[in-house]
Every structure is written in structure tokens, then in C-alpha cells.
Structure 1
Amino acid sequence: MNDGVKNMKMRQAVMTEPGNILFRKVDVPQVGDRQIKINIKNIGVCGSDIHVNHGKHPYTSYPVVQGHEISAEVTEVGKDVEGIQPGDKVTIQPQVVCGKCFPCLNGMYHVCEELKVMGFQTTGMASDYFVVDADKATILPESLDHEEGAMVEPLAVAVHAVRRVPSVEGLNVLVIGGGPIGNLVGQAAKAFGAANVVVSELSETRLKVAEQCGLGTINSKDEDLSEGILRHFGDRKADIIFECVGSNFTVAQSIEVARKGSTVVIVGVVSDLTEVNMGFVQDHELTVLGSAMYQSDDFDGAVHLLNAGKINLKSLITDRVPFENYAEAYSIIDHEKDRVMKVIIAMDPETI
């Protein structure tokens, strides 16, 4: 099916070097037989994007087109595509994998040995239109608006993280870090049946948002984390700790405050070598797990939780920026990080 934009030009944002975004007009891409063309509506900004903006992402070179948290409308489908139609509201799973390595052949394609991610090692979706393999699309419910649709990807990160443990049902869960990922991990854990979910955070804004989303809080700026754990959980403490910051301090802290026989899941992206008390890991018989990205069923799980009304996304959106002011999104995060949760970029400024 042809959407009427053949041979037309579209806007595209290109980061030519750290901190410099250039807007250019490029051809609207053409659709292959197993592909779909989508009209991007909203783009979410995440912490990894900020690393690229600062030139500190270890696996990204320049120039690069960013944009991996998106919502869009399907405008054209290839002749061999089934189950997706023009007009469908979708988000995209942004991994590009080899399909041949051990992880890919054994159900772990999200940690492919040759993994590339749109917006980092290959072209992202910061443009009016984008063409992608149809099997990377997740259809979104009509009840979800496009701003929320752009947050399904980070929710899938959270769903995957919670699914790294056999079950959270009936357990005490501590989340270290109340940013968007930490908040969504907390909400997902609660949705999956955790008895008590508490978020530890320094930012007053993020603590308030966590409370709006029905989560307990520890202001770790004013209260010792170990004391906060006892206050919320009693002597049983936390059964599972999700580390969602990725700093040396919080990774070490998650081990130090863990109860004997409990589980620590590292969700935050740790960019530096971290010193961890391995004596505690051994003597306390801790289970330490990593959690990286997601798979298609995590996107499906995210949509299921949203359909069930168990996740609050709107409370996380603090700022909206038009596409033409892309760099402003990064500036807001850099200068107001204690206030900001999720910044959404709108392709159409009239939707802000």
C-alpha cells in the first residue's frame, strides 16, 4: 500500500558531534516486502541518549541519528506483512541482531554478540518517517495516547528486569533510584504482586512522583538507607533489591544493605568499573543478577499491564519539547536533573 509520500522529503535530526544537532531534509525511505513505514509522533529521551550527547557513550560514534523510545502511526506496509495495517498505533523494539550467535540461537537475542541499537550503533528514529522490519513493531491499544506510547519501551525495560527473578509475588522489593526506569520497575513489581515496594531516592520531585504512583519512599538524603529499610520492611528487610542508578556508590550500596539470602538485580547502566564487597556476596549468599534491555514478550507484557490499568505513565512526564528544539531536551535534563523525570519530544508542536 502506498501512503502518498514517495519522493518526498522529511525532517531528520543528526547529532554530528557531542552536543551538536543538525536538522536536515532527507528522502522519505521506501518500504520493503516485510517492512512497515511509520510516521513518528513522539520520542522519549533516556539516560543513554544523554551519554551520547556528552560524548561518553562507549559504543556510539558520530554522526548519529538518535531516537529509540517512540510512538508512531503506520502509514504503509510491505506486501508480505500480515497483522499490521495502516493507521495502527505502534512502538518499535530497537535492537538489530545477527541471528547467528549463541545468544540469538538460544532465546537471548537481546544480548546478541553483535547487538546494535537504533539511535546508538545504527540509525535511530528521530525523523518524520522511519522504515523498519514489521516484526519489530508492537501494536499499541487505542486507549494509550502517543506520549504514553513513547514510554512503552522503558516500561519494557522494567518488565524485563522484574522478570529476571522467578517471582516477586508477596515479597518486599526495594528499588534504588527513582528516575523513570526505577519508578517503572517499582510499578511493574507492584503490578506483578509484590507485597511492599519502596523507592530510595535523593530528589524530592522523584520521591513525590513515586508516591503518586503508589510506591513507598525513602529520602536517602535525609535518612540512612538501612534505617529506611527497617522502617518499611522490619527485620525481614528487602527480599529483592533493584539497583536502577548505575553509579559505583549505589551498586556497592545495594550489596551492603542486602539481607542474607536475598537477590540484587543490577538494572542501571554502569559505565565505570565498580568495587563491590564480594565478601558480602559470598558470606551472605546473595544472588546478583544483571538485566539488559528486553525481548518482544516484555513489550507485550508492558502493554498487558497498561491495558489492565496497573501502570501510571502520565505522572512521569515532566517536560515536552518540539522536535525543532531537540537539543533543548538535553539541556533541560542537564540543568534540572533533580526536577526532571521524562522529557517527551513532539514531532508536531501543536500536540504539546
Structure 2
Amino acid sequence: MKVVFVEKPHSLEIREVPVPGPGKGEVLVRVRAGGICGSDMHIYHGTNPLAKYPRIIGHEFAGEVAALGEGVTEYAPGERVAVDPVTSCGTCYPCSIGRPNVCERLEVFGVHRDGGFAEFVALPVKNLHRIPSDWSFEKGALVEPFTIAANVLSRTECSGGDRLLILGAGPIGQVILQAARRLGTACAVADIVDVRLEKARSLGAELTVNTRKDSLEEKAAEWTGGAGVPLIIDAVGSPDLFPSLLRMASPAGRIGLLGFSKEPSSFVQLEAVKKELSIFGSRLNRNKFPEVISWFSGGEVKPELLVSHRFPFEQVREAMKFIEDNPSEVCKVILEF
């Protein structure tokens, strides 16, 4: 079978490897669609501090059951599945309080162990989630990005009565926007690309700000009547933005962080203490696949609006270059297997 293989940073190839056999408690999945995430590109470029090499990349993927390992009775060949890429030990402190996404021995398919950009992959049955037979595989692959939104909105206790400022109108910013709007949350979105901001307006953002043209702090103050923003989610991850988030947050406000930068941010303790701010890190998803699948089935969000381009998986290098060269045109790129 063919796989997308990153031997080391800047070394990506389509490689032939044997088809794996499903072990005890595993299912062999024939991968049909996978979404390219920014983290996949960071692994390729050597800028993902969490990745281990060599690696078959890909953590947003869906397919169909091809074969069952010993003891697996929950599935049948041909059923369609979406894959939760999070694996955990089940016994450490985070796992014991229901937060396996920050397990002490966390591993993520496509990051710490081989992932889904392969024609076949053997996976623990607990990581599979059945999807309706009338769904496209592309739709199944989009469940994982929306679980990122489900997790951060849960962590920050977003409600329909909130005002939410989202930094970044790329794929993650857009899924957060859709997920928040389903609650009735009033949303503002900031970015530097006008086309992305236009998309945000079409998805229900009542304020959009191009931060290359306007002061985000001034626009946020106008939007809230000077009261500050109750909820801010940073989907950009640029360390130098953090002091501004502290200033824009309202008293008793919450800030959700999604970035993985190792660079330090300036932290003004006075801002955090005098306002009694809550600051939340949010990583991956905490068993959010069933919730997001229900959103999709109920029409509460429109995942298909996220997809801008499709490539055969053998053209993954061309797809990544296209993403980098066309930021104003690209949202989510799907690889077809």
C-alpha cells in the first residue's frame, strides 16, 4: 500500500509499505479521505515541537472497515467510520478526571505514532466512530476539526449569551465560529485576509476586523461598548498577541488558547488579577466525536463549507505548496484516497 511518509523534516515522499494486519481489539480501516491540518505541514517543515520522526502523517481522516481483529464484534466490513486520533492510558490523573486529551502518556495518530495518510491503517476499535452510510468520506474526515471547536468551547464554557472574539479566520477559526453560532453566541472575528473575513461574515460573524487595516482593540471596545470581551479564543497562536488579549478581555472574562508556540508571551499579572480572568489551554478533543457527529446529523453546522480544494493523496506535496502559496483562496484541503 502507499503512505505519505515524512522521514525527517523537509523529507516527504509517497512510500510503499506492507498492509498492516489488525491486532487484537483493532480494526483495519481502508482510508478514503483525509484533511490536511496545519500541524501536518509543521511536521513536514520540522516546526511541530511534539512530532516524532519518521512518521506517516495525518490525523483528520475517515474510511471504511476492511477487516476485524480478534475480539472485535462492534463493526462489520464496509461500515463507514471517522477516527478519533487521540490515544490515552486510561489510568493517569488526567484520564481519571475525564481529560484523556492531556494524558501523561498521550499519543496522537499522525504525530506521535503513524497516522491516517495511508491506504490502510490498523486502529484500536475504541478510536472509531460509526458515521451514516449516506455521508461522504470527506464529511467524515471533517469531524475531527470540529471536535477542536467543541473542546475549546466546552473548556471556556461558551454560552448563547456570550460575546466571543475569535482570532484567526482559517479552518479552526471557522469551525469555532460555526460551533459558537449554533448556540446563538454573538461572534467577532479578526484576521489579516479579507477573503477569510468575508467567509466569516457569511457564517454569522457580526463584526470582522482586518488587523492590518484597523486596531482590533479599538474595534473590540466599540463592539462591547467599552465593557471588554467576555470570551476570547486565540486560534492564531502568536505569542505577541497575548498582552492584547488581556487588555481586551472584560472583567471576569475567559481566554482560550489553541497555539503551540514555544516562544514566551508577555504576561501582565495586573491585568489578569484585577479582572480575575480565567485562561484556558485547549488541546485536541475530550471524547467529543459523538457530540460533533450529532451536530452534523442534525444540520447544526455545515462542514462542507469548510472545504475549498481536493487533491489525490499522491499529490500531497503539491497540495501543501498550494496551501502555502494561496492563503487567501484556501481553507480546508482534502486528500482523496
TM-score (norm 2): 0.94
CA distance in 2, matches of 1:325, 1:172: 41
Shift of 1:143: 4.4
Bigger CA drift: 65-74 or 236-245? 236-245
Match for residue 208 of structure 1? 198
How many residue pairs match? The answer is 336
Would you say the 8 A contact 1:37–1:129 is kept in 2?
yes
Runs of 4+ in 1 over 4 A off after TM superposition: none
Out of 137, 147, 155, the position equivalent to 2:146 is: 155
Bigger CA drift: 243-252 or 212-221? 212-221
Out of 40, 44, 48, the position equivalent to 2:35 is: 44
1:192 aligns with 2:197: no
Shift of 1:157: 0.6
Q: In the alignment, residue 107 of structure 1 is paired with which amino acid?
A: G
Match for residue 294 of structure 2? 304
Would you say the 8 A contact 1:44–1:342 is kept in 2?
yes
Counting only pairs closer than 5 Å after superposition, residues 216-231 of structure 1 correspond to structure 2 as 216=206, 217-231=208-222
Shift of 1:130: 0.7
CA distance in 2, matches of 1:209, 1:138: 30
1:329 aligns with 2:319: yes
Match for residue 103 of structure 1? 94
Q: In the alignment, residue 98 of structure 1 is paired with which amino acid?
A: C
Would you say the 8 A contact 1:212–1:315 is kept in 2?
no
CA distance in 2, matches of 1:301, 1:236: 33
CA distance in 1, matches of 2:218, 2:134: 41
CA distance in 2, matches of 1:212, 1:219: 16
Shift of 1:148: 2.0
Counting only pairs closer than 5 Å after superposition, residues 1-352 of structure 1 correspond to structure 2 as 10-194=1-185, 196-216=186-206, 217-296=208-287, 298-347=288-337
CA displacement, residues 54-95 of structure 1 (integer Å, 9 cap, x when unaligned) = 111122232211011001111222342233222221111112
CA distance in 2, matches of 1:342, 1:85: 30
Would you say the 8 A contact 2:33–2:62 is kept in 1?
yes
CA distance in 2, matches of 1:326, 1:70: 14
Bigger CA drift: 153-162 or 307-316? 307-316
Shift of 1:153: 0.5
Q: In the alignment, residue 282 of structure 1 is paired with which amino acid?
A: V
CA distance in 2, matches of 1:271, 1:213: 32
Would you say the 8 A contact 1:246–1:271 is kept in 2?
no
TM-score (norm 1): 0.90
Would you say the 8 A contact 2:156–2:255 is kept in 1?
no
Would you say the 8 A contact 2:230–2:253 is kept in 1?
yes
CA displacement, residues 242-295 of structure 1 (integer Å, 9 cap, x when unaligned) = 111111123332212111221111123333222122221112211111111112
CA displacement, residues 152-202 of structure 1 (integer Å, 9 cap, x when unaligned) = 1110010010001334121111111111111111111111332x1111111
Would you say the 8 A contact 2:86–2:284 is kept in 1?
no
Would you say the 8 A contact 2:217–2:244 is kept in 1?
no
CA displacement, residues 185-235 of structure 1 (integer Å, 9 cap, x when unaligned) = 1111111332x1111111112112212222232222222112322443334
Bigger CA drift: 254-263 or 129-138? 254-263
Q: In the alignment, residue 201 of structure 1 is paired with which amino acid?
A: D
CA distance in 1, matches of 2:260, 2:49: 12
Would you say the 8 A contact 1:18–1:55 is kept in 2?
yes
CA distance in 1, matches of 2:14, 2:103: 32
